Structure 1
């Protein structure tokens, strides 16, 4: 099936080489589809298909009576060890499913994250992909002033920024809305999701008649762990000039 060609390649890789890493998780993992829980388990695995972040793989036995999980065609090149699958709840279904019958992933099922209406760790919704248990976020108050400029125009200055430090990523600077020069900003329709921070909305920046799309983001209702950044604005470090305590940040 052409639309599942990427899943076929992933299945071939995982069957031949195994995942980059995998480990069981004590979290209760549930997936909501069409108003019903399709699976509910305390025996899920974090599976790193690549080094960057994990996905949840759930036991085939964890699917609820409201869900119908079936094998479709075997994946070429896996000797029948991996099948494409189909998950249905009522009149809603997805074929973005892999089912494993041998190897390190035996009896586990991958349902593509975005195909579910909502995923939960315990009773907490998660977004975009599962959180990596080896990464964390720290949000620190600072009195080191931060200045943001672009093309010689100052866009924001704050004496009391928030520093958001996320494992393996660069520091992001969240500034109070009163520190921003709003005449340069206009609302964007863009939205993105972060498993650690929630749903982000964006602003464009226009300077000298040139619009810079989605240069600024903010979280109106962040996740509990990132609550301090609510309403603060963050400029893309990579696309603007930032000074921290008078020293220009190097990209």
Structure 2
């Protein structure tokens, strides 16, 4: 997803590689100005408002917005004695956020011992996503995480023949699916409901959220858990897949023009809920898992 998440070029699971004579460092961080007005709401008030937000892309993490301190209400940050250490960016000082009669501990952070090559982040404050009421770009709320400018979705119509089976049972057969290409992921094939035996789909509890497509519903098929999904109210930008259904090739048999689709790099998705807490140290466990997996 974009630069640093899932199979993006700066992630640990990148499916491509940089064509350089020498190997790059295992971890590459990338920061740039957002070039959009971004605001943060907490306890019903605006506590940050900036046109100079820096977005930090870090391997294994969603993009994180960092606000210049001068664009943050100085009354809302309450110093704490909590200091952690970031493996690339040094000491991390944590703050509670307070407005009115509401206080949230460890809701904001600042890198206070930055190395010289990361000096542009000096004096910037980041806010834990779920600790805030909402983040906005101009007057539109942004859900999930800060938008990744390098994330792209393209949807194409096709006349290729697609068939979905579970054992000997045909679940779907279509001559006009659509294919969704999304940064860092393998193609996803979506089937019109008219081409699906919907009696085979059993809706399950629990939704996930994509900041680029919307809320996602899931279905079991026989004993195959969460083998299909649908964005019933897909965002306008991807409205062509709204209500259509896609299927997991590791759960059911999917054939495209007679050739079976197999899971491939970029196919598996790390799903998350409607929103998620973006604490500064949340990547540590993922990094440790990556290191353990490489041994």
- With the length of structure 1 as denominator, give the TM-score of the two structures: 0.81
State the partner residue of 1:203: 219
> For residue 109 of structure 2, what is the aligned residue in structure 1?
98
Contact 2:80 2:94 (8 Å CA) reproduced: yes
Whether contact under 8 Å (2:63, 2:148) holds in the other structure is yes
Tell me the matched-pair count: 229
Matching of residues 69-108 of structure 1 within 5 Å: 69-76=77-84, 81-94=91-104, 95-103=106-114, 104=119, 105-108=121-124
Tell me by how many angstroms 1:76 deviates.
4.9
**Counterpart mapping for 1:1-251 below 5 A:** 20-50=29-59, 53-64=62-73, 68-76=76-84, 81-94=91-104, 95-103=106-114, 104=119, 105-206=121-222, 210=223, 212-251=224-263
1:97-142: CA deviation from partner (whole Å, max 9, x where unpaired): 2123353321111212222232222333322222321220001111
Q: Deviation above 6 Å: which 4+ runs of structure 1?
A: none
- Structure 1 residues without counterparts, runs of 5 or longer: 1-17
Q: Deviations over 1:74-98 (max 9, x none)?
A: 51558x9531111123333332321
Q: Kindly tell me: are residues 122 and 146 of structure 1, through their superposed partners in 2, closer, same or farther at Cα, counting changes over 3 Å?
A: farther
Alpha-carbon shift at residue 52 of structure 1 (Å): 5.4
Shift of 1:21: 1.2
Return closer, same or farther for 1:180/1:21 CA change in 2, 3 Å cut-off. same
- Contact 1:44 1:58 (C-alpha < 8 Å) held by counterparts: yes
Distance across 2 between alignment mates of 1:142 and 1:123 = 37
Higher normalized strand content (fraction of residues): 1
Cα distance in structure 2, aligned partners of 1:34 and 1:213: 39
Cα deviations by residue, 1:15-68 (Å, 9 ceiling, x for unpaired):
xxx971111110111223333323221111110132554111222222248x61
SS in 1 for 2:126: strand
- Mapped to 2, the partners of 1:234 and 1:106 lie a distance apart of 44
> Larger RCO: Structure 1 or Structure 2 (Cα < 8 Å, ≥ 6 residues apart)?
2
8 A contact 2:225–2:251 mirrored in 1: no
Q: Which runs of 5+ in 2 are unaligned?
A: 1-26, 264-295
Q: 1:229 to 1:92 in 2, by over 3 A?
A: farther
CA distance in 2: counterparts of 1:113 and 1:76, whole angstroms: 19
* RMSD value, Cα: 2.5
Report if aligned partners of 1:127, 1:198 keep a CA contact under 8 Å in 2.
no
TM-score using structure 2 length: 0.70
